[in-house]
Every structure is written in C-alpha cells, then in structure tokens.
Chains A and B, each alone.
Chain A
Amino acid sequence: MREFKGRVVTPGTTTAEAVVTTQGFNTLASMQMALQFGDKETKCGDQNNPELNGKPLCGKALCLPQTIGSTTGGLVLYCACSMKRQPACMLFSEHIDSLAAAGAVLASVWVEDINMPVIDCLGEEFLSYVKDGMTITVKEDGVVVVD
C-alpha cells in the first residue's frame, strides 16, 4: 500500500478499482461512442490507446497523466457526469489540462448530486506505481491511497 498526495481540483471521497493510462486520455475518442449508444459501462473506444481501449471507465478510478484532443472533451465529461456514467474519480499525475478542468468544474457547478473527486499533481511515481485492478481510495484532502 502506498499513499500519494495531490491537489484537490474538485473535492470528494471514493473507493474504486483503478484503470490506468500512461498516455494522454483523449476524452472524445474514449467516451463518445459509449455515451451515444447506451453503453452503461462507458467502455473506452479510443483505438489509439491500447492500454484502455475496450475497458470500462464508469465507476472506475481513472489514473492518467492529462487529457488530450478535441475541445469537446470537457462537455463530453460533463455529459457523462449528467448521465451518471462518469469515472468514480480522475487522478492526474500531472497538472490538470484545460479540457478536463472544464468538465470537472462544469459538473461540480451545474450537475446536482455529483461525486467525482478530481485530484491532480500526483507525480510521475504515482502513475508508474498504480496498475489496473488496484484499489484506490481518495480522501477529502487530496490523499490517494493505492492498495
């Protein structure tokens, strides 16, 4: 078990199973098809991301460096949150990017009863340590426990 301390972008607590990408997470490419065609697990559809392609994202602790790609990324994340098909939390090794931040903030301000803690700046070591299937616990103060 290891603990990592990050910065709270949007607060909350949760425990969930990790899914990990060490490359940039393309939100549009990953989520668009799943959201459009009723995939309740929100399976990743990004053919350019072999680490995540085909894996469920809904309810998982999504561990990533940053998000990349289209500027629809933030609203795709906002829609996933509105439809309750979002990851349990998003844990960034690097500083959050503007698209993911937009999605997190929009959900936080405009979606009722949302609980998707977003923590960034967890460091490179976090992303090299965490592996798919590990249990992640996110605490209110930005501490992330990986077990």
Chain B
Amino acid sequence: MYLNEEQQAILNGSQGETMAKIMKTMVMFGDAFGAEKMVPVTSKHNHLVTSFGLKVMSPVYDLMQQLLDAGVKSSQTFSVDPRPVDKNVPANFLQKLVFNKLMYTKQNFYEEQLHKLGLMSDDAFTCACYLDQVGNVPKKGDVLSWAESSAVVYANSVLGARCNRNSGIMDIMGSIVGYVPYFGLLTDEGRRATWIIKIETTKKPEAQLLGSAIGMKVMEDVPYIVGLDKWIGSELDDSACTYLKDFGAATASNGAVGLYHIENLTPEAKEQGKSLIAEGAKEYVITDAELERVKANYPVVWKNPDATPKLCFMGCPHMSLQQLKDWTDKVEAGLKAAGNKTVLIPTVFTAAPKVLEEFNKTEYAARLKATGVITSYICPLMYMNNPLCKKMPVITSSNKLRTYTTARYYTDDEILTAITKGGK
C-alpha cells in the first residue's frame, strides 16, 4: 500500500509506539483487501458500536486504556450504540442480579473511558445516531470510520456517505489516526450493484422481512432494488427513511449488506440509475410467497413454542420520533377496538435518549404511557443477551433482534394484535 510521508512517519513511530501500532493495524487491514492507499476520514463525528461494559469484554477496555494511557485521541467526537440496561424495563430479581452483579459491572468504568475518548454527550447512546435529533448526520460523500451494521448501511445507502462495514475497535482506530484504507464501499466500483432485486408483491412488503430475505440472499453484495418505490415513494421523507432504517438493519444482520440502492429513491440510484448495476448481476424476485417462505423458515427456539409472550420489544434499531407517534395512534386504536385499556403483554418501545426527549415534549407521550407501553433508551439485544432471557418468550418485529436472541419475529400487524387483543 502507498503511504504518504505523514502516514509513513506515523507507522515509523513519529507519534509514539501506540500510534504506530494503530497505523500498522489499519495498514494490515487494508492489505487484506488490496487497498492501494489510505484516505482521510472527513465526517464531523464518528460512531462506535461498543457501548456495553460487559465484564467478559475486558480485553476491549484494556485496549481502550492503552489508547488513553498513551494520550492518543481522535479529533472527532462520537456517538455510540445504546446502553444495555435501564431500570424502567421489566426485569425480575434474578435478571437484575445478573445484569448488575455479573454482566455489566464494567459499565461505569467503560463510560468514563468513552467520555475521555471523545463521546459527543452523556446521552449520545443510540444505534440510530443519524436521526436529526441525535445530530450525527454525515454529508453525502463523507468518508466515515463508523461501526454498527445498521448505521453503516443507512449512512451508505440513504445518506450517500462512504463507509466500510468496520468492526468495533477499528472504528475508533480509524478515527484516531484520521485515515482509513481505501477499498470496498469507499470506491465507486465497490458501490456498484451485483444483484437486481425485483419487488413483485401485491402489498407493501414488511420492511424487516424484506430486508431479511434480501440479506440472506445477497450476503455482503450490493443489491439494486427495483419496484420498492411503488410502495414507499420516491422522496426520502420521514416515512421512507424510517422504512429504510428498519429494512437496512435486517439486510445487515441477516446477511452482511453495507449498501443498497433503491431505484428512484436513494441518492446514488436517483443520480445514476441502472448504470450502477454491474455486468452479470444476479437476479432475485420478491413475491408475497417468497416473503412467506422466508418467514416460515425462521427457527422457533422457544422451549415451549406455544408459550404466552412475556415481553414485547419494538425498536431494534431504535425507533424514530415519527414511529413513536404512529405507534401511539396504532396502539390506542387497537386497544379501543379490542375493548382493552392497556397492553396485554409488557411492551417496551426503545429509542435514542434525544428522540425520547423530543417525544416527551409532545402530547403523544402521555397517551402512550396511558396504554401501558414503556419507553426506554436501552439496546434490546443487550438486555436479552443472557441465559435467563433465553428461556423467556419475547416477541418483536425486529429481525435483527430475532437473529441474535431467542426473540420471535412477528410482523408489525401481528405484534399490534398480540399486544392489544391478545394471542401470539
């Protein structure tokens, strides 16, 4: 790989041993992909995936401490994924014991490290950092050193920024050294589509089910999606962005998608159209039957498949402000139609602290609270990431949460029915 004078000097130790090791890490990483050069990180803020102070992840905190002790720091501030625990979320005595005494005992220590390393603010904990209320919104063409699969795919696809699917730790190292290797989704060639996805459904496809189907099919390739604008429009308004937030998270977690193009909607597809499609691109047709097939093939991993759900999580990735308002209306209407006053299953809607702050200023907040739904800033995945939750029948419309935990996936309509009228 070609390194300019400054980069070579850093590698040779001009800024100390730790900085040299960081540069070595980035160079070796780039070499694995045949990167020919390093390019500057240009976004205002970074985003990190590691937000949790898990005792067992001590190697990560030890490494962060090495960075702090060496005095190396990024010129960027950053947001970070959601906190793992919140006392407002239902948990029994044993769960609280496991969370606080066994699992997340390093949380305060790690948050102190994050502050020292450049955390944007005490409430910059969310996977949906790109929402306006949070304020980490990269510009089109910005080069990022982000991690968090759902944020990376959103930044690339909806905002037109350029970012590879970086891992945790690599995210902060790229930001500290100020350069990332130039390969993959940073290049024009790497952003061309090698799959054409034709949407031929008779109704608007469920975002997280469609994302799951496409992710499992194309894996890490770039899909060019035709026919989705018929259902979600050709403007990146609140509704379309929310849809793409959930769709993208599913493509990234059920597969490894870092970028998708939606014909007539996402910025590069609007500008370049079908010229984005690489020669020899494969084709995948999405029909109602195909989505049904994908959903029917999800494994049911509950101990008792017929168990009554004990908890419902919505908001993985974190919900948008508009989503919270829309769901308030839907839950109220569902309860009214069923003759119920409050939800029948303990239900948690998760969103960024800044989004919840805005939501709580609206009249919707009191209305949602009256339905019994709890709002929280946590990461549902982190909440469920323990053997106690493995035995717990949890439902969700998040395909990301389904992938990583024992939560069972249902469509939005099925979830609404379950929490307002009963049944699974």
Contact across chains for B25 and A68 when beta carbons are under 8 A apart: no
B268 at interface, CB cutoff 8 A: no
Contact across chains for B167 and A103 when beta carbons are under 8 A apart: yes
Contact across chains for A35 and B169 when beta carbons are under 8 A apart: no
Residue on A with the closest CB to B185? A98
* B-chain residues with CB within 8 Å of residue A110 when the two chains form the complex: 21, 25, 63
From B21, B25, B103, residue with most partner A Cβ within 10 Å: B25
Contact across chains for B103 and A78 when beta carbons are under 8 A apart: no
Contact across chains for A105 and B147 when beta carbons are under 8 A apart: no
Contact across chains for B219 and A79 when beta carbons are under 8 A apart: no
Q: Mark B245-268, 1 if CB is under 8 A from A, else 0.
A: 000000011011000000000000
B296 at interface, CB cutoff 8 A: no
A103 CA to B25 CA in the complex, in Å?
10
From B24, B184, B404, residue with most partner A Cβ within 10 Å: B404
Please give the distance in Å from B334's CB to the nearest CB on chain A.
30
A129 at interface, CB cutoff 8 A: no
Task: Select B50's contact among A47, A69, A75, A99, beta carbons within 8 Å.
Answer: A75
* A-chain residues with CB within 8 Å of residue B171 when the two chains form the complex: 71
A29 CA to B21 CA in the complex, in Å?
29
From B103, B149, B152, B301, residue with most partner A Cβ within 10 Å: B149
Contact across chains for B49 and A71 when beta carbons are under 8 A apart: yes
Residue on B with the closest CB to A110? B63
* A-chain residues with CB within 8 Å of residue B406 when the two chains form the complex: 47
Task: Select B32's contact among A28, A70, A105, beta carbons within 8 Å.
Answer: A105
B residues contacting the other copy or chain, number (CB 8 A): 45
Residue on A with the closest CB to B381? A70
* B-chain residues with CB within 8 Å of residue A29 when the two chains form the complex: 403-404
* B-chain residues with CB within 8 Å of residue A97 when the two chains form the complex: 165, 220, 256
Contact across chains for A69 and B49 when beta carbons are under 8 A apart: no
* B-chain residues with CB within 8 Å of residue A16 when the two chains form the complex: none
A70 CA to B256 CA in the complex, in Å?
8
Known: A36-B54, A48-B403, A71-B165. A106 touches B32 (CB 8 A): no
B273 at interface, CB cutoff 8 A: no
Residue on B with the closest CB to A69? B253
* A-chain residues with CB within 8 Å of residue B164 when the two chains form the complex: 98
* B-chain residues with CB within 8 Å of residue A108 when the two chains form the complex: 28
Please give the distance in Å from B205's CB to the nearest CB on chain A.
21
A116 CA to B28 CA in the complex, in Å?
16
**Segment 53-75 of B: residues with Cβ below 8 Å from A:** 54, 56-57, 59-60, 62-63
A73 CA to B164 CA in the complex, in Å?
14
Task: Select A109's contact among B25, B253, B256, beta carbons within 8 Å.
Answer: B25
Contact across chains for B60 and A102 when beta carbons are under 8 A apart: no
B148 at interface, CB cutoff 8 A: yes
Q: Mark B157-185, 1 if CB is under 8 A from A, else 0.
A: 00000001111111100000000000010
Contact across chains for A102 and B255 when beta carbons are under 8 A apart: no
Known: A24-B255, A75-B167. A101 touches B29 (CB 8 A): yes
A44 CA to B147 CA in the complex, in Å?
24
Contact across chains for A72 and B167 when beta carbons are under 8 A apart: yes
Contact across chains for A70 and B169 when beta carbons are under 8 A apart: no
Contact across chains for A106 and B149 when beta carbons are under 8 A apart: no
* A-chain residues with CB within 8 Å of residue B148 when the two chains form the complex: 71
A29 CA to B147 CA in the complex, in Å?
17
Please give the distance in Å from A28's CB to the nearest CB on chain B.
6
* A-chain residues with CB within 8 Å of residue B299 when the two chains form the complex: 47-48
Residue on A with the closest CB to B152? A71
Known: A96-B32, A110-B25. A79 touches B253 (CB 8 A): no
Q: Mark A58-89, 1 if CB is under 8 A from B, else 0.
A: 00000000111111111100110011000000
Contact across chains for B169 and A78 when beta carbons are under 8 A apart: yes
Please give the distance in Å from B49's CB to the nearest CB on chain A.
5
Contact across chains for B33 and A101 when beta carbons are under 8 A apart: yes
B423 at interface, CB cutoff 8 A: no
Contact across chains for B29 and A102 when beta carbons are under 8 A apart: yes
* A-chain residues with CB within 8 Å of residue B63 when the two chains form the complex: 110
A125 CA to B256 CA in the complex, in Å?
23
Contact across chains for B149 and A71 when beta carbons are under 8 A apart: yes
A105 CA to B28 CA in the complex, in Å?
7
* A-chain residues with CB within 8 Å of residue B184 when the two chains form the complex: 98
From A28, A47, A68, residue with most partner B Cβ within 10 Å: A68
Task: Select A24's contact among B170, B219, B385, B386, beta carbons within 8 Å.
Answer: B219
Contact across chains for B220 and A66 when beta carbons are under 8 A apart: yes
A26 CA to B33 CA in the complex, in Å?
20
Task: Select A73's contact among B24, B29, B59, B167, beta carbons within 8 Å.
Answer: B167
Apart from the given pairs A106-B25, A106-B167, 16 other A-B contacts in the complex at a CB distance below 8 Å: A33-B386, A37-B387, A66-B220, A68-B256, A69-B404, A72-B147, A72-B167, A75-B60, A75-B167, A78-B169, A83-B56, A95-B33, A98-B166, A99-B256, A102-B166, A104-B32
A-B contact pairs, 12 of them (CB 8 A): A48-B403, A68-B256, A69-B252, A71-B148, A71-B165, A72-B147, A74-B169, A75-B57, A78-B60, A82-B59, A101-B29, A105-B29
**Shortest 4 CB-CB distances between A and B: which pairs?**
A74-B167, A102-B167, A82-B59, A75-B168
